Structure 1
Amino acid sequence: MLQNVIDQRRHSLGIIEVGRVLPHRERRMVGPFVFFDHMGPAQFAAGLAKEADVRPHPHIGLATISWLFDGRMMHRDSVGSVQEILPGEVNWMTAGSGITHSERFEYQRAHGGPLHGIQTWLALPDGMEEIDPSFAHIDAAQVPLIEEAGMRGRLIAGSALGLSSPVPVHSPLFYFHLELQPGAAVPMPAGEVAAYVVHGQIEVGTERIGPGQMAVFAPGAKARASAPTLLMLIGGEPVGERYIDWNFVSSSKQRIEQAKADWRAGRMKLPDADDQEFIPLP
């Protein structure tokens, strides 16, 4: 019924703490999803130190989504995008051949406030790893709503359960934010499927999956919520083996080494609106 149960590993990123789920030694990917971080929840006072910001840094071979439950972030990238990220909105950044971006907490610095969300990376499929970088913003009103007995949520990206998101994805996938009432069944779209429990609990046979855990389902698995539950349902068709090194994802180790050399040598353009500092290669 279950292939894996993955516990988040808490990491401190300076002032912000995250729970990392993917990649994991027992499960590198679910469909194209190659990275999954649970940010917060955190509450900041006004005057948040600038060290909390994520300074400009590079990516290749992937697309990213930062999905917020609460709070806000400011995104700037090297294709000219300047976009505040708010709860319920989708900001889809495709790195392709190479992009740089920053994520800053300017609102919290000025006013104080919360931060709580999920950050995911999706590996691009073969033949698309080197496409031109791009950025797409989808307003909350455009994110498809799903409402069924005991279940309500949003299809953040992809297509499943008769819904299709306007996010310009590059391979068959799905990414749901779902709120389930006790007894409601967890949907099982086609492809690889995993559910991350933000709060609440689901049951798969005799196993119980709680907050901070991801269940990777075997084909034919059935799961139900045993309490009011918020979960993220991810998956889709596999894209093949991918390597991850720092912020780089690729099917080629040599391509990653080239990206590292390019960043070290300053050959990757910084965001025009945020080009005064950057994160050095570790």
Structure 2
Amino acid sequence: MPKTELLIEGRQRELVPGFSVRRILPFAARRHVGPFVFLDHMGPVDAGPRGIADVRPHPHIGLATVTWLFSGEIVHRDSLGYVQPIRPGELNWMSAGRAIVHSERMPEDVPVVHLHGVQAWVALPQAMEESEPFFTHVGRDRLPVVYEPGARLTVIAGTAYGATADLALPSPLFYVEARLDPGAELELPADHAERGAYVVSGCVSAGEGEIGEGTLAVFTPGEAITLKAETGALVMLLGGAPLDGERHIYWNFVSSDRERIERAKTAWREGRFPKVPGDDEFIPLPP
């Protein structure tokens, strides 16, 4: 049996005019890896205040967003009243639950930001889809770092490589930033049913061929997987337990119930979501 189940190449998606990302998940042949139902690779791009990388207030339901930066800065504002600069090496976990609205903007006091990072969405378990929303910021000094030969591993969320991140999670998962030296070999955690590796930069192999920049490899459950860095590489490792049922995605809404998404669409169209204090713009519901 092949160790690699599927390779997914990132596809260009324009979030706002002039600002494109690589969309990795969802993909037609693979809607999720563990609870991860969405993965975008942002940048690298140079952006300034109120410029192309600003994302105006928009809603979410049924998911948690995980923002992780390699460079630059984003200012997070949400309808709970949080205002939080997001910087490299810091975990920012926003659980939407029944409803939350947030904006992601460039800092006003920095002329140019070299923005580079990834954003993931984790589907909440069905029992938590209508839970109260919350936002958590975890500084880089609180995130576990594990060193393997030729590898520096930051455990962003969940449990991997003998370390557990300092954040209570709704379901079993792992999310790791792996910085690999050329020639380094790294085994993927074997205690998670679904596993993937997204190559941000560089090139790695997994026994059957190379996995280049901008590609997500989804691995066969139960197989022992060893990544080898063909060059210096930056790789995001992710996965976890299978979802507890199908998830539907429309725009920024995730739910196990299609009718719930229809109600969310109507509520946003009619202006019935909570507001973001100090940020009165908004993104209209897509046609």
Partner residue in 1 for 2:99: 98
Partner of 2:262: 257
CA distance in 1, matches of 2:197, 2:134: 28
Instruction: Say which SS state the counterpart of residue 141 (structure 1) adopts.
Output: helix
Compute the TM-score of the two structures, normalised by the length of structure 1.
Answer: 0.95
Flag the 1:161–1:53 CA change in 2: closer, same or farther, 3 A.
same
Alignment partner of 1:201 out of 192, 199, 203: 203
Task: Tell me which residue corresponds to 2:32.
Answer: 29
Shift of 1:265: 1.1
Superposed CA RMSD in Å reads 1.4
Q: Determine the C-alpha separation between the residues in 1 that align with 2:273 and 2:60.
A: 10
The alignment of Structure 1 onto Structure 2 pairs a total of residues equal to 278
Paired residues of 2:106 and 2:113 also in contact (CA < 8 A): no
Aligned partner of residue 259 in structure 2, secondary structure: helix
Match in the other structure for 1:233: 237
**Structure 1 residue matching 2:126: 3-state secondary structure:** coil
What's the CA shift for 1:273?
2.7
1:122-137 equivalences in 2 (<5 Å): 122-137=122-137
Name 1:278's counterpart in structure 2. 282
Alignment partner, residue 8 of structure 2? 6
- SS of the equivalent of 2:127 reads coil
Letter in 2 for 1:232: M
The yes-or-no answer on 1:191 pairing with 2:196 is no
Ranges in structure 2 where 5+ consecutive residues have no aligned partner: none
TM-superposition CA deviations, 1:126-183 (whole Å, max 9, x none): 2111110000010110011011112112000111221111123210000000012213
SS of 2:128's equivalent?
Answer: coil
> Matches of 2:202 and 2:116 in 1, distance apart?
16
- Matched with 1:42 is 45
Percent sequence identity over aligned pairs: 48
Structure 1 gap segments, 5+ residues each: none
- Structure 1 runs, 4 residues or longer, greater than 6 Å off: none
Deviation per CA, 1:215-237: give whole Å up to 9, x if none: 00113142322221110000000
Q: Which secondary structure does the structure 2 equivalent of 1:254 belong to? A: helix
Write the deviation string for residues 237-259 of structure 1: whole angstroms up to 9, x where unpaired: 01221000010000000000011
Q: Output aligned runs, 1:151-170, within 5 Å.
A: 151-170=151-170
Q: Distance in 1 between matches of 2:50 and 2:18?
A: 8
Partner residue in 2 for 1:62: 63
Equivalent-residue separation in structure 2 for 1:51 and 1:195 (angstroms): 29
CA distance in 1, matches of 2:195, 2:121: 16
1-structure distance, mates of 2:278, 2:185 = 46
Cα deviation 1:35-87 (Å, max 9, x = unaligned)? 0000001123x5x5545411100000000011000000000001111100000
**Which residue matches 1:89?**
90
Give the TM-score, by structure 2 length: 0.93
